[in-house]
Structure 1
Amino acid sequence: MTGPDSAVRDRARRLYEARATRKPIPPFTDEDPGLGMADGYAIQRELVAMLLADGERVVGYKAGLTSEPMQRMFGVSTPDYGPVLASTVHPDGATLSMDTFIDPKMEAEIVFRLSAPLRGPDVTVDHAREAIGEVMAGLEIVDSRIRDWRIGLADTVADLASAGAIVVGRPVPPTADMDPRLIGCVFSRNGRVVATGAGAAALGDPVAVVAWLANQLGEHGITLEPGQLIFTGALHAAVPLCPGDEFVAEFDRLGSAVIRVASRG
């Protein structure tokens, strides 16, 4: 098997440096409008290899653009995915500095922790449901190393699906009468409701997101492992952050997750 070509390595290196310096770069699709999803994932894999060489760890995966509002916001029509890195996971109630990010936005999601492996192809929703060990309220900060969020699908895929930071609430075991499609969410900023949603916003069923992700990763020989976190995608349009903000995502049956935002500097 041959390694990544020079263009892939160069683009991955540019993203790697943008992450380190928090200085955004122009979209790759500006210089090459023909870049597609496969190109984006090739860059993503090379970027992940660079981060793992630095001692980073993959502790799960996130699916992005699983809801219609998020797809409309970025002008795309298909989900994407990226790894959840250990350094991006923070405790519930964490205060995170704006200095950590470039142009962050917040979103609320349903999160699963797996208790059994899943490997595509042919993973069904039933298989995914059986592999879920815990369900949690989640908040994700999405951030883009691409300047001004001018992302094409290849750009955000390459940029680890615009991953920034995450928190999860207390784990809840799934029960026979828990239907993740029907789990409602109230999303508040500084005590004011700014969005609402339900699990069905994520590909019609958050569990279907897990199955989709397992099958996508399976094409590259990757297994979803027990203990990994699976973020299933925003249930509403992402909300920009400002210094001093407090965001709370309250979920029926799951409880809440909280992130506070400190000032820059």
Structure 2
Amino acid sequence: MSENDSCCCSCSATKPAVTLNVKQEALAEALYQAYRRNFYGQENNPLNMADWGGVVTDDDTAYAVQDAVMAKKMGPVAGYKVSLTSEETQRMFDSDSPLYGAQVAERFVPTPCTLDLRHLNEPLVEVEFCFTAKKDLSADMSLDELLHNCTVAGDMEVPDARFAAWFPTLSKYLVMSDCAVGGYVLYGTPVDGAELTVEGMAQVHAKAYHNGEFVKEGDSSEVLGNPVNSLKWLVGKLESQGKKFTKGMHVSVGTVFVPPAFTAGEWRVEFSGPFGTLEVTAK
């Protein structure tokens, strides 16, 4: 995707709202209750994928279920995560495009920090980049404009579903319904996007370590060729749904490698360029 490429979602008219049926409303409630149990560190009782198979069978309905889940949470949408930003992850979930999940404010956490595993189900580790808008963004902005109107931090996203044994077998539509299996976005020191270049954003290398042992590494070019492309995709997709990416919102734009499990111990991610190092403790 280049700066001049048009995003297929940004040029289409806003679609009418989807009305959920009884089973889809029940799915939204079940997802919220599972989220709530994790949030308060109560006994983990994840959902069974087989119980919800076939309840959602298209993108628009999946996003409508996601909206219903978000409406039940305390607080407005503070940002998003983008998933399926590489050919490999799209193949894993039988998709030909990215997808997004909304997040509330407490899910974006500066590092160094500590996460209590009792508040999670079956979490993974993804190394990404967190963009934060300095002004309202629009789909007609160029990649340069989008980058320069954000700050950017390296981040470690901790995706987590409300389903048992979810990775990598959870259906795309249940992933979307479950807010793109959003967990936490743990971000490092932000860098002003005006000091960065689009070309440079495609050339960042990152390495992840657990208890001092190397785990995985990857390049920012794995994220739709450039993490800024992922931001542009999201802004266009939101506009096609009548939503906006406004000043202060965050987005974690996609992982540089297929995620391993997030387990107890000390995690460290080292980024090349200006993004430095971030540290997270899981207990």
Same fold (TM over 0.5): yes
**Which whole-Å CA distance do the structure 2 matches of 1:29 and 1:156 have between them?**
15
**1:247: which partner in 2?**
267
**Which whole-Å CA distance do the structure 1 matches of 2:212 and 2:225 have between them?**
29
Change over 3 Å in CA distance of 1:102–1:113 after alignment to 2? same
Higher strand share: 1
**Which whole-Å CA distance do the structure 2 matches of 1:207 and 1:246 have between them?**
29
**1:26: which partner in 2?**
48
Given that residues 156 and 162 in structure 1 are in contact (C-alpha distance below 8 angstroms), is that contact kept between their aligned partners in structure 2? yes
Higher mean C-alpha deviation, range 248-257 or range 25-34: 25-34
Aligned-residue CA RMSD (Å): 2.1
1:176 CA drift (Å)? 5.0
**Which whole-Å CA distance do the structure 2 matches of 1:114 and 1:28 have between them?**
39
Change over 3 Å in CA distance of 1:28–1:117 after alignment to 2? farther
- Residue 235 of structure 1 aligns to a residue in which SS? coil
1:124 CA drift (Å)? 4.2
1:151 maps onto 2:173 in alignment? no
**Which whole-Å CA distance do the structure 2 matches of 1:71 and 1:29 have between them?**
24
1:8 maps onto 2:24 in alignment? yes
1:203 CA drift (Å)? 0.6
In structure 2, runs of 5+ residues without a counterpart are: 1-16, 38-43
Given that residues 185 and 252 in structure 2 are in contact (C-alpha distance below 8 angstroms), is that contact kept between their aligned partners in structure 1? no
**Which whole-Å CA distance do the structure 1 matches of 2:79 and 2:148 have between them?**
17
Which digits, 9 at most, give the CA deviation of each residue in 1:19-58, with x for residues without a partner?
A: 123321122785317712222111101111111xxx3232
**2:205: which partner in 1?**
184
**2:76: which partner in 1?**
57
**1:87: which partner in 2?**
106
**Which whole-Å CA distance do the structure 1 matches of 2:238 and 2:27 have between them?**
22
Given that residues 27 and 52 in structure 2 are in contact (C-alpha distance below 8 angstroms), is that contact kept between their aligned partners in structure 1? no
Q: TM (normalized to structure 2)? A: 0.83
Given that residues 70 and 234 in structure 1 are in contact (C-alpha distance below 8 angstroms), is that contact kept between their aligned partners in structure 2? no
Q: What is the aligned counterpart of 1:100 among 87, 103, 119? A: 119
1:77 CA drift (Å)? 3.5
1:233 CA drift (Å)? 0.8
**1:226: which partner in 2?**
247
Which digits, 9 at most, give the CA deviation of each residue in 1:166-194, with x for residues without a partner?
A: 21111112325561100111111211221
**Which whole-Å CA distance do the structure 2 matches of 1:41 and 1:2 have between them?**
9
Q: What is the aligned counterpart of 1:118 among 113, 117, 137? A: 137
Q: Which runs of 4+ in 1 moved over 6 A?
A: none
1:87 CA drift (Å)? 1.9
**Which whole-Å CA distance do the structure 1 matches of 2:96 and 2:237 have between them?**
16
1:114 CA drift (Å)? 1.2
Given that residues 8 and 42 in structure 1 are in contact (C-alpha distance below 8 angstroms), is that contact kept between their aligned partners in structure 2? no
Aligned-residue sequence identity (percent) comes to 25
Give the number of aligned pairs. 256
Given that residues 249 and 257 in structure 1 are in contact (C-alpha distance below 8 angstroms), is that contact kept between their aligned partners in structure 2? yes
Which letter does structure 2 place at the counterpart of 1:35?
T
In structure 1, runs of 5+ residues without a counterpart are: none
**1:142: which partner in 2?**
159
